[in-house]
Structure 1
């Protein structure tokens, strides 16, 4: 773990009740010593609000290493640190485990996606994603458009750092469709064909998006920009 690594946190008490975005947080490693890891104040992934935790709160911490592999460890909040950059001191782990979980991270982001029917049950269409993860995505179904059948071919355009783009073509299974409160229909897909290299690219894409969102929030806070 190096300085600047992005972490995703889950509160263990909430995790027992069923983990979702409501109890997932992101933060950044800003310093460390032999006993503690120092992180900036975690932000709720869903609400985008800075979270407040009591001393002793136990977290499951997940991050992507330099080798593009997912790691996790369990830690505990020791204390809050006042200073030029307020931070939290969490316990440095004795063990860090390598894991393989495609769905451990998903980010809300709008990228172009073309949807093709596996059996020509509906004409191809282009729309925007609602969120993207390494194991699947959800997308906005345009008005007067139907998705028939279970299997579809998805063609994505993923903007990466330094101006690079990825164009993955992924075979996916339609999991469900539902109308949101604003009457927009959202369709969720599970990826079926995804090699290890592309999976790692998607994980990196998700973390880059989280990093961008975190930087934007810090900028807004610094300049007193409040979203209504």
Structure 2
């Protein structure tokens, strides 16, 4: 498939900056698309243009009806007038993003969940998140959970609470403990909620970098 056909002016994209104090995922739109360069409108934060520097490595993520795609690029020019934009390299390679490629980071937050079955929802159970990514999470709980079960999970993240369904892909008894380690993939999650989770992951990464942990 020629993914470049999807790249048209006005297309909504995410500009992902992995390193530095401004690391994060920013929503913006394409301005122009050329043979070897493309430009995006400068993202705003608190009413101000986010001041990325020329030479900053970046990733542009965009979507069609069935999948997400990514471009590994670099900011080569900043233009201030008449409208602030960033000019980026447009490489030959554009690749489809696999769910397993979501960055996973340690994250310890409280959560509650309910199992979904033919009878409806179970009683609310408690757990503690152990790690998090845009594609899923792992958490610890004293409750046994069946492999393949669908859960309705309530995550208490710094950006605010999120409710999402999740499918259990791994369930292990923790040795010498009464608890279980449960891994889930987010299931039918709205993209706006996934974006919030990904932003939380980037925020955690930034804190870890400042502490020298990654």
SS at match of 2:43: coil
TM-score, scaled to structure 2: 0.51
**8 Å contact from structure 2 (residues 11, 30) kept in 1:** yes
Structure 2: segments with no counterpart, 5+ residues: 1-6, 105-110, 117-121, 155-162, 175-179, 200-214
Counterpart of 1:210 in structure 2 is 195
SS at match of 1:71: strand
Query: Cα 1:62–1:147, aligned 2, differ >3 Å: closer, same or farther?
Result: farther
Between structures 1 and 2, the one with greater helix share:
1
SS at match of 1:210: helix
Deviation at 1:69, TM superposition (A): 1.0
Between structures 1 and 2, the one with greater strand share:
2
TM-score, scaled to structure 1: 0.49
Q: Distance in 2 between matches of 1:167 and 1:27?
A: 22
Alignment length (residue pairs): 162
Counterpart of 2:76 in structure 1 is 78
Q: Distance in 1 between matches of 2:128 and 2:40?
A: 34
SS at match of 2:75: strand
Q: Distance in 2 between matches of 1:174 and 1:42?
A: 42
Structure 1: segments with no counterpart, 5+ residues: 16-21, 44-48, 117-122, 159-165, 178-186, 215-228
1:147 to 137, 142, 145: 142
Provide, for residues 22-70 of structure 1, a one-character-per-residue CA deviation record: whole Å limited to 9, x for no partner. Answer: 8332231241131322232276xxxxx974322111223333x213212
1:1-228 matched pairs, under 5 angstroms: 1-2=7-8, 3-11=10-18, 14=19, 23-34=23-34, 35-41=37-43, 51-63=50-62, 65-83=63-81, 85-102=83-100, 104=102, 113-115=113-115, 124-125=123-124, 135-137=135-137, 147-149=142-144, 153-156=149-152, 168=165, 170-173=167-170, 189-191=182-184, 201-202=188-189, 205-207=190-192, 210=195
